[in-house]
Amino acid sequence: MSEATLDDVLQETLGHLLSHGATIHPTKGEALEVVGAVIELTNPRARVSRSHKRSRIFSALGELLWYLAGSDDVGFIAYYISAYPNFAVAGRVEGAYGPRLFGDQHRLGDVIEVLRQKPDSRQAVVQIFSQDDLDNEKDVPCTTTLQFFIREGRLHMVTHMRSNDAYLGLPHDMFAFTMIQEMVAIRLGVELGAYKHFVGSLHLYTRSAADARAFLDEGWHQSTPMPSMPSASLDDGLSRLQAAELALRTSSGAGPQLGDLGSDYWDDLIRLLLAFRVTTVDELNVIRASIADDFFKIYLTDRLPKFEDTGAR
């Protein structure tokens, strides 16, 4: 399958699983499965759903920042995704990707250096799954490897998954990995290429089937990619974004204020983190009005019913 946007990928993937998936009964519950799936996202910046039902940009951004911090702390990620404590042991997520990508060994940095030295290399691979993970008590990484290729001046990325939940996991994985792909492309000074996602067991849990059908009933969505990540401000932008995330999540210090934010890509991502924290419609509307790029405004609009349903002002 080759599609231009995440929504197109989800339409094809969920529809195929519902129509042609084989029933399996793994530990986490009954599911419909396709073995050996290949998904290509031709425009990796079209990484966020424009569906009201699947626009998980807040949790996806939080999970990406958890990875970038090199963290396996369940408290960090539970702030964004409440189910994570179910996979934790003594406050840590055993299969966390962050320490394997951005921890002490910083394996992604090694891959970047390989491609700087040998642009045509086929060795730019980051291993995430380890055989020792089979002894983990609760969480085994779903991702096995990330591989990067520079071809004709573009950075292509191939992800291999042993297992992938098509409804909950796939949108988050494509968001995080294509964001990392774009960061690596900037580091290498090349254009962004295609993203390919290879999955051993692509599945849809029976408990998510009704939600998947509701998404399919929305029909096709307009192709609207995220704005390009600015190459000139990558280091400063990531530093500001991570500092803002830490301050907001832990309530340490004053944290970022709207009046201190500018109009670039990174400031809009910080505004999303601010919007995730606020508790009233009025606060959310103020943040929405300050968003610089219209791409992000829909996600704050989608958040409004959370407060309107409770009458919070």
Write out pLDDT tens, residues 289-300. 999 999 999 999
pLDDT at res. 251 = 85
The label of the residue with tokens 């071809």 reads 151
pLDDT band at 313 (very low <50, low <70, confident <90, very high): very low
Q: Do residues 120 and 37 share a domain? A: yes
In whole angstroms, what is the distance from residue 228 CA to residue 236 CA?
16
State which residues form the domain around 18: 2-226
Q: Do residues 163 and 66 share a domain? A: yes
If one compares 262 and 200, the residue with the highest pLDDT of the two is: 200
Q: Do residues 249 and 135 share a domain? A: no
Of 226, 243, 269, which residue sits at a domain end? Answer: 226
pLDDT at res. 221 = 77
Residue 238 has pLDDT above 60, yes or no: yes
**263 three-class SS:** coil
Q: Do residues 181 and 46 share a domain? A: yes
Phi-psi region of 163 (alpha: psi -120 to 50; beta: other; left: phi over 0): beta
Phi, psi of 33 (to 5 degrees): -135, 145
pLDDT band at 302 (very low <50, low <70, confident <90, very high): confident
Whether 300 maps to a domain, the answer reads yes
pLDDT band at 256 (very low <50, low <70, confident <90, very high): confident
Q: How many CB atoms lie within 10 A of CB 120?
A: 8
In whole angstroms, what is the distance from residue 160 CA to residue 177 CA?
11
pLDDT at res. 106 = 75
CB-hemisphere CA count at 13 Å for 270?
A: 26
- Average pLDDT of the chain to the nearest whole number: 93
Mean pLDDT of all residues in 224-252? 93
Exposure letters 167-191 (e unless 16+ CB within 10 A, then b): bbbbbbbbbbbbbbbbbbbbbbebe
pLDDT at res. 304 = 79
Total length of the chain: 313
Mean pLDDT of all residues in 141-145? 96
Q: Do residues 240 and 221 share a domain? A: no
pLDDT at res. 309 = 56
Of 226, 244, 277, which residue sits at a domain end? Answer: 226
Q: Do residues 256 and 204 share a domain? A: no
Whether 124 maps to a domain, the answer reads yes
Residue 307 has pLDDT above 90, yes or no: no
CATH number, residue 189? 3.30.572.10
Whether 100 maps to a domain, the answer reads yes
Q: Do residues 243 and 286 share a domain? A: yes
pLDDT band at 73 (very low <50, low <70, confident <90, very high): very high
- The predicted model scores a pTM of 0.94
Q: Do residues 198 and 255 share a domain? A: no
**Per the structure, how many domains does the chain have?**
2
Whether 41 maps to a domain, the answer reads yes
Whether 206 maps to a domain, the answer reads yes
pLDDT at res. 308 = 61
pLDDT at res. 220 = 79
Exposure letters 74-93 (e unless 16+ CB within 10 A, then b): bebbbbbbeebeebbeeebb
Angle between helices 209-217 and 6-20 in degrees, nearest 10: 130
Mean pLDDT of all residues in 123-142? 93
Whether 313 maps to a domain, the answer reads no
Of 226, 243, 265, which residue sits at a domain end? Answer: 226
